[in-house]
Amino acid sequence: MKKKTRDISPDGKYGLAWGRGGSIQVVEMASGEEYYRLIANNAAYIQRAAFSRDMRRILCLNDDGSVGIYSMPPKEKQTDVTQNIVEYFRLGSDPAEAFILRRR
Q: What are phi and psi of 60, to 5 degrees?
A: -140, 140
**pLDDT for 74-99, tens place per residue?**
776 666 677 888 888 888 888 878 88
Average pLDDT rounded to a whole number, residues 28-32: 91
Helix (H) or strand (E) holding 24: strand 24-28
| Under 8 Å between Cβ of 36 and 16 | no
Q: Is 68 exposed, middle or buried (0-12, 13-18, 19+ CB in 10 A)?
A: buried
Whole-number Cα distances in Å, 2 to 15, 17, 27, 55, 96: 11, 11, 9, 23, 26
Assess whether pLDDT exceeds 60 at residue 1: no
**pLDDT for 45-68, tens place per residue?**
888 899 999 999 999 888 888 888
State the pTM of this model.
0.83
Rounded Cα distance, 61 and 82, in Å: 25
